[in-house]
Amino acid sequence: MPGKISSTKAPEQTFEEVKFLKRLIDEQKTVRVKLSDNQEVEGIVEFYDTNFIRLTRAGEPNLFLFKHDIKYLYEI
């Protein structure tokens, strides 16, 4: 029927975040993280769990960043 709306719900969890973070760790990719206060930091994701990521930085202290404080992150 044309115009019929699907009653299928989107999944609550796609697990893409887990795959993405695991790949960043395995490949030791450098990332830039933009925080909710617009501060930006760079480093390598060394560890993550449900609440935070650990960012390892060359020549600077390592950071534990709470996920709720992260706007976005991307590879550089």
- 29-69 per-position pLDDT tens digit: 999 999 999 999 999 999 999 999 999 999 999 999 999 99
Q: What is the reported pLDDT for 8?
A: 78
Output the pLDDT for position 13.
77
Given a cut of 90, is residue 25 above it in pLDDT? yes
Q: Which domains does the chain have, with CATH numbers?
A: 28-75 (2.30.30.100)
Computed from CA positions of residues 23, 55, 30, 74, in that sequence, does the dihedral angle turn out positive or negative? positive
